[in-house]
Homo-oligomer: A and B are copies of this chain.
């Protein structure tokens, strides 16, 4: 707590950064935390709360009154206002609607407007504050207006001037680096015409998939993008800091989905919610594990006559599962990054089978020799070696083909592909090993 007091004393408010305060808060225990929340400057508390993990966001808002919360929301930019209100609703629906009622009409309208967008739509990530002008304004006047807006703290982190027509449709995007070398005593129109450049805006549509918008940022090295609606009317902008968050979120989603975990449920601190989502995946896994056991059960006579088979059989399944997961992960990720596409399907499947089969042959030989030495039966070595080659071939094939197929069916390849794959490698692993044993050994 002294650390926070020290920070607050040594910085004046314009120099403080919400992330720094959040960083200090995270080091505190619960009672220090509650006291410290009261010390945060009221203009910054909204940003500080949003810079904390969800669990601590809850702790911040529980230590603030409705008036304080309302003030905090007022100080945020539009996209952050929406996020704050959404998180607040999750903490306490009643407090959230009380806070909403106290907001002024403009803020209410903006939040309501942003709420109309779905989670995956570009509009849901934009902020509404933009710096606009019309063509016939003199550059000098535009800059004067800009200076006033800056002073009133209405606009932050501006990199472009957006030129709209009388219907507010976006016509040009002028980078501040271009604006700086314009002739200030002339109109924007004259400057644009003299420059020889087109200043054609690269726009995102508000209902567009945010993944596509992220892709534009990456491909075209953008740091900001205007957002327009279906009529071309400028409605907001998306900035690089949003993109960092979205890239991270998407990667998290992918990793979690591969492991059978739901990213939304995990963000939350409720053990039950995360647990329930995980349970549905474990339930699916139980079914596939039982299926594998049924396959084993088909060979109960064989197993009874040679216990070595029971001892060795998990190895074949495990190696197949691991090799398949390697392939699966690479294919899922490269599909997501756009490094490979449907059109490469044949090449990728061929390559993945080759890698998996090569490794299969190496470890088949190694394991064959080990089994031979362990149980003193050369035929047993042959059986495990052959079944490992079969299973790793299948692992490469399905590890590559499953995500490519799901993608083709427009299903997210990260979801469910791991469960399909391990079902295949378990079933094929046990079946090939015990089947070959029945044929060769008995």
A325 to B255, CA, bound (A): 11
- Flag if B244 contacts A351 (CB, 8 Å): no
Q: Within residues 236 to 253 of chain A, which ones have a CB less than 8 A from any CB in chain B? A: 239-241, 243-245, 247-248, 251-252
Q: Within residues 53 to 81 of chain A, which ones have a CB less than 8 A from any CB in chain B? A: 53
Instruction: Given A247-B247, A260-B322, answer yes or no on A220-B307 (Cβ-Cβ < 8 Å).
Output: no
Query: Which one of A2-10, A37-45, A296-304 is at the interface?
Result: A296-304
Q: Is A424's beta carbon under 8 Å from chain B?
A: no
Instruction: Given A244-B218, A322-B282, A326-B278, answer yes or no on A315-B289 (Cβ-Cβ < 8 Å).
Output: yes
A322 to B244, CA, bound (A): 30
A431 to B366, CA, bound (A): 25
The minimal Cβ–Cβ distance linking A263 to chain B, given in whole angstroms, is 9
Query: Which one of A85-93, A104-112, A357-365 is at the interface?
Result: A357-365
The minimal Cβ–Cβ distance linking A108 to chain B, given in whole angstroms, is 25
Closest to A367 in B: B286
Closest to A26 in B: B341
Chain B residues closer than 8 Å to A367, beta-carbon distance: 286
Chain B residues closer than 8 Å to A407, beta-carbon distance: none
Closest to A23 in B: B219
Identify 18 new A-B residue pairs, CB closer than 8 A, beyond the known A159-B159, A223-B224.
A53-B339, A53-B340, A146-B180, A158-B177, A221-B240, A243-B244, A247-B247, A256-B329, A260-B326, A278-B326, A281-B322, A285-B319, A286-B363, A286-B366, A292-B318, A296-B314, A303-B307, A310-B310
Q: Is A27's beta carbon under 8 Å from chain B?
A: yes
- Flag if A314 contacts B314 (CB, 8 Å): yes
Chain B residues closer than 8 Å to A309, beta-carbon distance: 310
Q: Is the interface of A mostly helix, strand, loop or mixed?
A: helix
A296 to B243, CA, bound (A): 50
Q: Is A411's beta carbon under 8 Å from chain B?
A: no
Instruction: Given A286-B315, A303-B310, A318-B289, answer yes or no on A259-B355 (Cβ-Cβ < 8 Å).
Output: no
A315-353 near B? 1/0 per residue, CB < 8 Å: 101110011011011100100010111010000000100
Contact sample, A vs B, 27 pairs, CB 8 Å cutoff: A15-B198, A26-B341, A157-B221, A159-B159, A159-B176, A218-B248, A223-B239, A247-B251, A248-B251, A255-B258, A255-B333, A256-B330, A259-B325, A259-B326, A260-B325, A271-B354, A271-B355, A278-B323, A279-B359, A281-B322, A286-B363, A289-B314, A289-B315, A289-B318, A293-B312, A297-B311, A318-B422
Chain B residues closer than 8 Å to A333, beta-carbon distance: 252, 255-256
A248 to B247, CA, bound (A): 7
Among B179, B279, B303, B362, the residue within 8 A (CB) of A279 is: B362
Chain B residues closer than 8 Å to A311, beta-carbon distance: 293, 296-297, 300, 303
Closest to A245 in B: B218
- Flag if B326 contacts A181 (CB, 8 Å): no
The minimal Cβ–Cβ distance linking A371 to chain B, given in whole angstroms, is 10
The minimal Cβ–Cβ distance linking A260 to chain B, given in whole angstroms, is 6
Q: Is A121's beta carbon under 8 Å from chain B?
A: no
A200 to B12, CA, bound (A): 13
Closest to A328 in B: B259
- Find the residue from A159, A251, A309, A326 having the highest chain B CB count within 10 A: A326
Among B258, B315, B329, B430, the residue within 8 A (CB) of A293 is: B315
- Flag if A351 contacts B217 (CB, 8 Å): no
The minimal Cβ–Cβ distance linking A69 to chain B, given in whole angstroms, is 22
Chain B residues closer than 8 Å to A377, beta-carbon distance: none
Q: Is A376's beta carbon under 8 Å from chain B?
A: no
Chain B residues closer than 8 Å to A251, beta-carbon distance: 247-248, 251-252, 254-255
Q: Is A51's beta carbon under 8 Å from chain B?
A: yes
Q: Give 6 nearest A-B pairs by CB, closest first.
A: A251-B251, A221-B241, A259-B329, A310-B310, A240-B240, A147-B181
- Flag if A217 contacts B197 (CB, 8 Å): no
- Flag if B275 contacts A355 (CB, 8 Å): yes
- Flag if B285 contacts A14 (CB, 8 Å): no
A14 to B195, CA, bound (A): 13
Closest to A332 in B: B255
